[in-house]
Amino acid sequence: MRRAENWIFAPETARRLAGVRIGLCLLLAYRLAVRDYDAFAARHVRFLPHFYMDVFPHMPSPGLASVLQALGIAAALLAAFGLALRITLPVAFVCALILDGILNSAGRVLVRDALLMLSLILIIAAGRAAGDAWAVRAPNRTGVGARYGWPIRTAMLVIALAYFFAAFQKWRYSGFAWVTSDNLRWILYAQPHPNGLALFVADRPLLAHLLAAGALLLETCFPLILFVPALRWLLIPAAVSMHVAIQIALRLDYSAQWLTLVIVFVNWPVVVDWVRRTLAPVPTPRESAR
């Protein structure tokens, strides 16, 4: 227990937390911008409120959805710049929560943005620390400490557990038959109009079994990413590939999930320093001699 606590509350830099804040806020703004919430609210007159959406007596109106969308995008962008974080971040989060609630209250609950929203809760909980660097009108501290480490590391733990629990539920409800049966083939065939990739895999039972085994192994082993940092080079690209393949074959968009994974696990100050070094002009021999 002490080791787990030491891991979560290990020091990180203010710049790393700021990098995660900027990435998650830009991703949230993008997710809010690309979806047509008002059309969805207008189309789905049947309102099956999920969880907190019980506070609404009926499906929120298209007008309200449009206002929340605009407000959410503006607040998320301001939060990415680090402006008035204690207001902009919660406003962006609440707008997204209601808009996701609209999508989740038409009969089917979508997991897709859940990891993004959970990670945003942690950035909100970090308070002013999230705006200590890489922000307009910020102290631009080069601080280091657990103050910046715990939100990032808790987000890492949450992401690793999310993938693990996705595997855990497959073991729980289906067992090894999830791999050995024709389950994956039926998932691919069951679409209204399966595309070429879906049919290519579904028509080849051995390939379908191999891909099912790979996906289950990846999700089951995902928590290793926390203990063996070198495995991040293997497991993160594998998870991204899995989500992209699902997007192509099943047309299910899990980009919010895999982008959250990348944003939280990449050490952005290292990337920025590397880019600066790479792009910095090389001094000519005459300048070097001065």
Partner 1 sequence: MLEAPRYARPFVVVFVGMLVVCALAPLNLWPFSNWELFSRLRDPVVNSWVAVVSAHDVRVRDLPIGPHTGCNAFLRSVTARFGPATGVRIYRVERLLPDGDESHPALPYRTLVVACAPRGARASS
Instruction: Point out which residues bind partner 1 (CB under 8 A).
Output: 5, 8-9, 11, 45-46, 48, 50-51, 97, 100-101, 104, 107, 109, 111, 113-115, 117-118, 121-122, 125, 127, 129, 143-150, 154, 157-158, 161-162, 165-166, 168-170, 172-174, 177-178, 181-183, 185-187, 189-190, 199, 202-203
Closest residue by Cα to residue 267 from 6, 5, 20: 20
Cβ nearer to partner 1, comparing 15 with 147: 147
Q: How far is the CB of 168 from partner 1 (least distance, A)?
A: 7
Cβ nearer to partner 1, comparing 128 with 289: 128
Cβ nearer to partner 1, comparing 69 with 154: 154
Q: How far is the CB of 71 from partner 1 (least distance, A)?
A: 19
Closest residue by Cα to residue 116 from 267, 257, 262: 257
Say whether 145 sits in a helix, a strand or coil: strand
Cβ nearer to partner 1, comparing 15 with 50: 50
Q: How far is the CB of 90 from partner 1 (least distance, A)?
A: 15
The pair of three-digit structure tokens given for residue 195, joined into one six-digit string: 């595309």
As a whole number of Å, the CA-based R_g of the chain is: 22
Cβ nearer to partner 1, comparing 64 with 274: 64
Q: How far is the CB of 158 from partner 1 (least distance, A)?
A: 6
Residue by residue, DSSP assigns 171-196 as HHHTTTHHHHSSHHHHHHHTSSS--H
User: How many residues are listed for the chain in this entry?
Assistant: 290
Decide if 100 contacts 113 (C-beta within 8 A). Answer: yes
Helices of type H across 53-176: 62-80, 85-104, 114-125, 146-173
Cβ nearer to partner 1, comparing 77 with 212: 212
Cβ nearer to partner 1, comparing 80 with 153: 153
Host H or E run for residue 13? strand 12-13
Q: Taking the mean position of all CA atoms in its chain, how far away is CA 37?
A: 20
Q: How far is the CB of 164 from partner 1 (least distance, A)?
A: 9
Between CA 273 and CA 243, with CA 230 as vertex, the angle to 5 degrees is 90
Host H or E run for residue 12? strand 12-13
Q: How far is the CB of 273 from partner 1 (least distance, A)?
A: 21
Q: How far is the CB of 233 from partner 1 (least distance, A)?
A: 25
Host H or E run for residue 277? helix 268-279
Residue by residue, DSSP assigns 42-53 as HH-------GGG
